[in-house]
Structure 1
C-alpha cells in the first residue's frame, strides 16, 4: 500500500490564523481555542451579513485578536487579509435555509467565495486551509442508510431542492480545495461537520434550530411539536468538539483529505424532545404535527450513522460531548442570556 502523503503541520504558537466567517457559533469557539493553544494572532474576518458582534464581543480588546470586516466576494479584500497568514479556517457560507430563501447569493458565496479564498491563499502562500464542509455531501432522501463513510455516494431522491443545492455547493468547495492542492500544492483538510449546536447558538440552522424551537415552546407552556413519529434520525456535534477538530486539523500533518466530524452517537427526534422536556422539568406531551412540504430538515429519516474514525486516524480527533450534556449546556446558556 502506498503511504499517504503528509502535509504541513502548523506550529500554532508561532502562527497567524485567519477565520473566515468568524462572527459565528463555530468561529467564535474556534478563536477561543486558538488563543488557548497560543496562536500569535487570530484574525476574525466577517462581513457581518449574518455574523454577530455578540458572538465575538468577549474577544474584542485581546491584543492577539484582530477583527476585520471583509467580503468573500471581493478578492482584493481576501488578498489583503491573508498576507503573512499561516493558516485559514474557512467557515463562511450560506446554509440550507439560505439556499431556500436567496439561492443566487448562496451559490455565489459558497462556490465563488470559496474559490476567492483559495486563490488568496495561493497567492500569499498560506501554509494550510481547513475547509468547513458538511455531511450534506452525502445528500438526503430515501437512499441513505448504513454508515455514511467518507467515500460514500451522494443521494438526492425526494429531498428538498435547497438541501441538495447546499450539499452540492459543499462538494464543489471540497473539489476546489483538491484542485488547488493538485495544481498549486496548497495543503488543506476538509471537515464534514454534522449539525453543529451549542452555546452562542443562532436561529439560522435547520436541525439545531429545532432544539431552540422546542425549548421556546416548552418554556411558554406549549406542547413540543414532533414532525413525525419521533424515530427519524438526527446527527449533531457540539460546537466545542468542532472547534477542537478545526484546531487539530491545523496542527496535523494531514492533507488532501476529507473527514467526518460527528457526535458520539445519533439521536432521534423523540429522544431530543425528551432531553429538552427533562431539562425544563416539564411533563408536557409532544404533539405530532408534520412539517409543511417546504420545511427544510436535514439528516432525517433512515437508519444511518456518521462514523468519525478516519478523523481519529488523520487528525487525532474524536468527539467528547454527548448529546445530553450538550443540550444542557446550550439551554443553560440560553437561560443565562434571557436572564441577562
Structure 2
C-alpha cells in the first residue's frame, strides 16, 4: 500500500479547534493520545469505551479536564457509534481484543476486531468524519520462522508454528486495514493505518503478551524474586513508548497522507534477556534472571533477530520515535512506584 498524499492537504485535519473521538479510549494508548490532542488544542476529545478492557485508572489523570468527555458505549452497537461520532473531525479506532484476550474468547475477538471496525467506519461515513486513524499492529507480519530481518510495510504474513490466538489477532488486523482501504475506495474515507509495535509506558496493563515481560519482571524484582527469561533470552522484541505513539496518532491526523499503512516502532529492537536485565537494573537491581521453560501462557516468538523499520512513517506523516527503552522504562517504573503499581 503506497501513500496517496494530497497536494492540497485535503486529508490533513487540524487538531486545534476540532473534536476527536477515541474508540477504545479508556486505555494505555487512548489516554496518552487524548492528552496529546488536548495539549494541541482539540476543542473536545471523547473517550468511547465499554470498559470490557478499559479502566478508570487509565484515564484518572484526565477525568477532570474540561474538554474531555467519557462516553460508555460499544463498537458492536451502531447506534452508540453514530451518536458519538456526530460532529467529529477525526476518529482514532483503538478498540480491539489483543492476543491474550483473543486466546480466551476468539469469537468475541473476531466480532470486535472486524465487525467493530466496519461499524466504526460506517458511522464515520454517515457523519462525514474527515479522517480515521486505525491502530493496527506488527502482528500483521505474523510470527514464527519467517519473521526475521527488516520488517517493512510490504513484508508478508507468516503463520507457521505460531499460537492460534496470535494468528487470529494478526489476521483480524489485516482485515481491519483492508476495511479501511475499502472505505477509501468506495466512498473516499481518508485514513492512515499505524502498525504499532508492542506499546509500553505509564499506566501499563497486563493484557499484552510481550509487555508482560516488562510488568512481570518489575513485579518479581519488587518482591525480591529472580526475574524469569523464557527460552535462551535471544528472542527479539520491538517496543514503542506510549508517548511516541500518541504523537504518531496526532501527526497522522495532521498529515496530508491518506490510504497508507506505516510501522510505528521504537528506536531499536531488544532481546528478551537484554530487556529483563534492563528492567531489573532500573527497578533497583536484584538476582540474576533464571531461564525457564513454558509457563502455559501465550508467548509470542519470531524466527530470529528482526527490526521493524519505521522510516516510511517519517516520509508519510513526519514521525520518528524519540524515546529509547532505557528512558521509557525509567518513566514507567517511576510512574508505578508513585502509583503503588496500579496499572491500567
Instruction: Report the TM-score range of the alignment, normalised by the length of the smaller protein.
Output: over 0.9
CA–CA separation in structure 1 for the residues paired with 2:122 and 2:308: 31
Q: Is the 8 A contact 1:235 1:299 kept in 2?
A: no
CA–CA separation in structure 1 for the residues paired with 2:337 and 2:133: 33
Q: Is the 8 A contact 2:3 2:259 kept in 1?
A: no
Alignment of 1:193-208 (within 5 A): 193-208=196-211
Normalised to the residue count of structure 2, the TM-score between the two structures is 0.95
- The equivalent residue for 1:242 is 245
Deviation at residue 285 of structure 1 after TM alignment: 1.2
Verify: 1:165 aligned to 2:172, yes or no: no
- The equivalent residue for 2:337 is 335
Structure 1: any 5+ residue segments left out of the alignment?
Answer: none
Distance 1:165 1:136, change over 3 A: same
Q: 1:96 aligns with which of 73, 94, 99?
A: 99
Deviation at residue 21 of structure 1 after TM alignment: 0.6
- The equivalent residue for 2:116 is 113
Normalised to the residue count of structure 1, the TM-score between the two structures is 0.97
Alignment of 1:163-312 (within 5 A): 163-292=166-295, 294-298=296-300, 300-312=302-314
Q: 1:156 aligns with which of 140, 154, 159?
A: 159
- The equivalent residue for 1:318 is 320
Moved more, 280-289 or 296-305: 296-305
CA–CA separation in structure 2 for the residues paired with 1:3 and 1:148: 18
CA–CA separation in structure 2 for the residues paired with 1:3 and 1:99: 31
- The equivalent residue for 2:129 is 126
CA–CA separation in structure 2 for the residues paired with 1:339 and 1:178: 40
Work out the number of aligned pairs and report it: 338
Deviations 1:174-193 (A, max 9, x none): 00000000000000000000
CA–CA separation in structure 2 for the residues paired with 1:110 and 1:307: 25
- The equivalent residue for 1:71 is 74
Deviation at residue 44 of structure 1 after TM alignment: 0.8
Distance 1:37 1:3, change over 3 A: closer
SS in structure 1 of the partner of residue 194 of structure 2 = strand
Deviation at residue 303 of structure 1 after TM alignment: 1.5
Deviations 1:86-122 (A, max 9, x none): 1000101000001100111111000000000000001
Q: Is the 8 A contact 1:33 1:244 kept in 2?
A: yes
Verify: 1:13 aligned to 2:30, yes or no: no
SS in structure 2 of the partner of residue 12 of structure 1 = coil
- The equivalent residue for 1:61 is 64
Moved more, 246-255 or 56-65: 56-65
Deviation at residue 296 of structure 1 after TM alignment: 1.8
Structure showing greater relative contact order (alpha-carbon pairs closer than 8 Å, 6 or more residues apart): 2
